[in-house]
Amino acid sequence: MRASQLFFPTLREVPAEAELASHRLLLRGGFIRKLAAGVYSYLPLGYKVVKKIEQIIREETDAVGGQEILMAALEPAELWQETDRWNVDVLFKLEDRAGRWHGLGITHEEVVTDIVRRDVRSYRELPLNLYQIQTKFRDEPRPRGGTIRAREFIMLDSYTFDRDDAGLDLSYRKMYLAFARSFARCGVDFIVVEAEAGPIGGKENQEFTVLAPAGEDRVLLCDRCDYAANAERCEIGDRGYEPSAEPQKPLEIVETPGMKTVEQVTRFLEVPAQKLVKTLIYIADGKPIAALIRGDRDLNEPKFSRSQGVARLEMAGPDTIRDLTGAEVGFSGPVGLRGVRLVADYEIRSMANFVTGANRADAHMINVNLGRDFTVDEWADIRAASDGDPCPKCEGTLHMERGIEAGHIFKLGAKYSDAMHATFLDEDGKEKSHIMGCYGLGVSRLLAAVAEVSSDKDGMIWPISVAPFEVTVLLLNPEDEAQARAAVRVYEELQERGADVLLDERDERSGVKFKDADLLGIPIQVVAGRLSAEGKVEMRLRRDKRARQLSLDEAADEIMAVIAAQNRLLLDAADRYSMEFSQL
């Protein structure tokens, strides 16, 4: 391809709308354009990267027995109702001219289960792995980071069907391998963490997370064992907290006019935040409930919900809090609080003489003590793990990192097949429910993740496997005959050898060509400049700017060797996962 024919509108200015480096670079390099909040179009170079990512994940999913299909995005409400998911918050819904409702597919468990219940009736047709690479829709409240959290995005979603749990375990491991190899081939490091299942549900699930400071997911990693979990999921457990030996002091009410936050109260009372217990009031499936946690901790809402078996958890509003406690928000406390179930984090057990709200305007209690002043209805692990917390699996310490969740795999079991009566006839003549797994890999999110971790201040640094071109030949001065001849020769010889190559023969200054080449992030740059008169070109690697002079006679072969070596590195990384897997 010649750059003069290519539509790649690069931007010199930093777009104001973009917070993240990846988002800025994808806009500046002319890879994507915004259409609406969280809705993007992919321009030629961006879509080339997307197609290369798609082809890698297609090959890897095929390799573990996946069969590619394409399901519809317009999913009838009736199907969602069968599994009680029609009210999933982020579903875009629309009514057709006949008054029938549809949800725009954010996931396809119902559709694929409907296909399978009609067409797969015998154990002899199992296991089955059906997958698609498709545009998904999500009525996201907070679109963010370009294609990282979008309202329309491209995803691979795979669904496996097995006779039993042993079959599911194998299918799940195969898809784990397909995902691990896909990430490796795309040139991104990742970690696999325990995670929240969200509205997909199921028994067990893991996320593939690309570590990046700009990621919106927080993950906790043990410094000793291989425990790793999304902060939403990360367990702390009952660490065997002993009651405090501190002598109990008399309970007192103190005036704290206008002091509502932990910081205000503790500074006013001159105590550390560890001496305060927060009383957070929620409505859980319609009933009031309070979470008690230490002043310097955050509540982990998913863990809190899960511990209480709650389907719908909402923070109580100011009116509800006034009705329940008799005071404004900021003055709630457990002492004398009636009609509200009290769930306390295990850690509270070891506290004594602590501060709480007094359930009265502008007042707190000090020297509050368990047992004497109030009793807890249930102890639970409900606080958010944080940097420095102990590992729940060993004696190690957790440290926190940020990351981008780019893949998520689930053991669903019979959740969907039971709800939708998707059964098969097993060898023993009995009707059984299909045992399912599902596996999602965000293609457009992976694009952004690569951009986030594989770039520098000058632009993108694409891994060779997903680069929009493998090589760009910069013809610095198209008027110079020696340069033109050298550039075209290398360009054509590379094309003959099967390389994906761009020739920048535009009528632009050299500086523009160098800047654009860096911005586009094509991994190998070949410069046809003054050296061309001596029958040479310069090859530079985008990643480290290392440069080498090549004679024109050997240039194409040398460059092909570099392409092969870069590809080999990525394949070797993928093959290491296959080796690990074969040893399992």
Closest to its own copies by CB, 5 vs 583, is 5
CB-count burial class (<10 Å; 0-12, 13-18, 19+) for 498: exposed
Tokens of 577: 């996962």
Q: Do residues 53 and 447 lie in contact, with contact meaning Cβ atoms separated by under 8 Å?
A: yes
Under the criterion CB under 8 A, does residue 19 sit at the interface with its own copies? no
Under the criterion CB under 8 A, does residue 94 sit at the interface with its own copies? yes
Under the criterion CB under 8 A, does residue 39 sit at the interface with its own copies? yes
Nearby residues of 53 by Cβ (< 8 Å), 6 or more positions away: 186, 443, 446, 447, 466
Under the criterion CB under 8 A, does residue 509 sit at the interface with its own copies? no
| Most distant CA atoms of the chain, gap in Å | 94
- Cα angle 7, 13, 14; round to 5: 100
Could you give the CA distance from residue 117 to residue 71 in angstroms, rounded to a whole number?
Answer: 15
Tokens of 275: 């001496």
Closest to its own copies by CB, 373 vs 426, is 426
Nearest C-alpha neighbor of 538 from the set 521, 530, 522, 550: 550
Piece in contact with its own copies (CB under 8 A), picked from 128-136, 422-430, 468-476, 517-525: 128-136
Under the criterion CB under 8 A, does residue 41 sit at the interface with its own copies? yes
Closest to its own copies by CB, 75 vs 505, is 75
- Residue from the set 13, 16, 99, 119 that interacts with its own copies by CB under 8 A: 119
- Type of residue found at 129: N
H-helix segments, 143-190 = 165-185
Could you give the CA distance from residue 436 to residue 425 in angstroms, rounded to a whole number?
Answer: 16
Piece in contact with its own copies (CB under 8 A), picked from 37-45, 201-209, 401-409, 465-473: 37-45
Give the residues across from 528 on adjacent strands: 475
Closest to its own copies by CB, 125 vs 164, is 125
Contacts with its own copies, 134-153, as mask; x by CB under 8 A: xx-x-x-x---------xx-
- Cα angle 59, 558, 560; round to 5: 20
Under the criterion CB under 8 A, does residue 306 sit at the interface with its own copies? no
- Residue from the set 26, 106, 113, 114 that interacts with its own copies by CB under 8 A: 114
Min dist CB 57 to its own copies, Å, is: 15
Closest to its own copies by CB, 52 vs 540, is 52
The Cβ of residue 36 has, within 10 Å, a number of other Cβ atoms equal to 9
Under the criterion CB under 8 A, does residue 434 sit at the interface with its own copies? no
- Residue from the set 71, 212, 220, 324 that interacts with its own copies by CB under 8 A: 71
Min dist CB 469 to its own copies, Å, is: 13
Closest to its own copies by CB, 137 vs 577, is 137
Nearest C-alpha neighbor of 559 from the set 484, 483, 502, 494: 494
Under the criterion CB under 8 A, does residue 278 sit at the interface with its own copies? no
Q: Do residues 92 and 80 lie in contact, with contact meaning Cβ atoms separated by under 8 Å?
A: no
Report CA 130 to chain centroid distance, whole Å: 22
- Residue from the set 14, 33, 237, 549 that interacts with its own copies by CB under 8 A: 33
Min dist CB 55 to its own copies, Å, is: 11
Under the rule (CB under 8 A), what is the footprint of its own copies?
Answer: 5-7, 9, 30, 33, 35-36, 39-44, 47-48, 50, 65, 67-76, 92-94, 96-97, 100, 102, 104, 111, 114-115, 118-120, 125, 128, 130, 134-135, 137, 139, 141, 151-152
